[in-house]
Amino acid sequence: MKSEVQELSWVVSDGIRIYGRAWNPSGESKAILCLVHGLGEHCGRYDHVAAALTQAGYALFAFDLRGHGNSEGSRGHIPDYPVLMDDITRALDEAGRRYPGKPHFLYGHSLGGNLVLNYVLRCHPQLLGVVATGPALRTAVTTPGWKILFGRTMYRLWPSMVMANGLERKALSRDGEVVTRYRNDPLVHDRLSARLGIDILLSGDWALEHAEGFPLPLLLMHGSADRITSPDASREFAARAGAVCTLIIWDGLYHEIHNEPEQAKVLNTIEMWLDKRIESAKTKA
């Protein structure tokens, strides 16, 4: 099935215009995945993910986080963490309005993985399940104490202060073309405010502390060679979440497992897990 893409936008409660995309299969969609992307990037980098999912009969509904991509807002900054939870709620509402009666999944990568795990733990949405890849629960390399102290100080005194996020671009993927496209993408930025940086750290710790209460089926995947976010933190979350969580650590893969040479296997794994969740829901109905 060939997919078609629609460009969308909506205004959230504080007046920020959010940009979105919807990729649809040519036939009837099995379910809707609402995608939350990572730090500094945008939903347009997921065209190939959408192509695979729509080929399997799923619609992908995605949006650029505030301060990212084509959405409005100060680059790399947020007023506070709860506003991101509200933005996800609004995105799910928009998806529900456009796909009435269809089951929904949340799918988040990196920062998006942090956000979807926190969102489910805090907001308890009605979903069939969650996919999180390379979630930013902890950094792969321990952040120096002085940097955290500086960030916490600015968090109180100047929360909108932005700096370079320090992302190691070569650690995104073993595919050099992926890294080159990322480097040359005009919608990618490296901005990170004190507010967002500290909130990512705090919310990652909070999610790990509360993982035992995760209420939905979860597919949690991470590359074992990720040098950006911690595979061990994903292992810890899965161990605490228990039976609801399916953990897959991809041996030797870098941070963006959907952009690695093995991406077809990764995306096929997601598709098979989604299919099982839908079949399970039908059985229980």
Structural domains of the chain, count: 1
Question: Looking at 71, 110, 173, 230, which residue is catalytic?
Answer: 110
Q: Give the structural domain span for 71.
A: 4-284
**Average per-residue pLDDT in the chain?**
95
Question: C-alpha dihedral over 107, 109, 111, 114, to 10 degrees?
Answer: 50
Q: What is the CATH number of the domain that holds 216?
A: 3.40.50.1820
Distance separating alpha carbons of residues 249 and 194, to the nearest angstrom: 31
Task: Determine the residue type at 212.
Answer: E
Pull the structure tokens for residue 273. 């897990």
Distance separating alpha carbons of residues 2 and 121, to the nearest angstrom: 35
pLDDT at residue 285, rounded to an integer: 66
* Nearest alpha-carbon partner for 206 in 75, 105, 80, 115: 115
Question: Looking at 226, 230, 234, 258, which residue is catalytic?
Answer: 226
The model's pLDDT over 126-150, given as tens digits with 9 standing for 90+, comes to 999 999 999 999 999 877 777 788 7
Active site residue 68: no
Beta bridge partners, 218, equal 130, 245
CA distances, 13 to each of 18, 53, 54, 71, 226 (Å)? 11, 31, 31, 14, 36
pLDDT at residue 1, rounded to an integer: 45
* Nearest alpha-carbon partner for 59 in 109, 20, 16: 20
Question: Looking at 37, 109, 189, 255, which residue is catalytic?
Answer: 255
Distance separating alpha carbons of residues 212 and 14, to the nearest angstrom: 33
Active site residue 226: yes
- Which positions ≥6 away from 145 have C-beta within 8 Å? none
pLDDT at residue 3, rounded to an integer: 65
pLDDT at residue 32, rounded to an integer: 97
Active site residue 210: no
Distance separating alpha carbons of residues 77 and 60, to the nearest angstrom: 26
Low-confidence ranges of the chain (pLDDT < 70): 1-3, 285
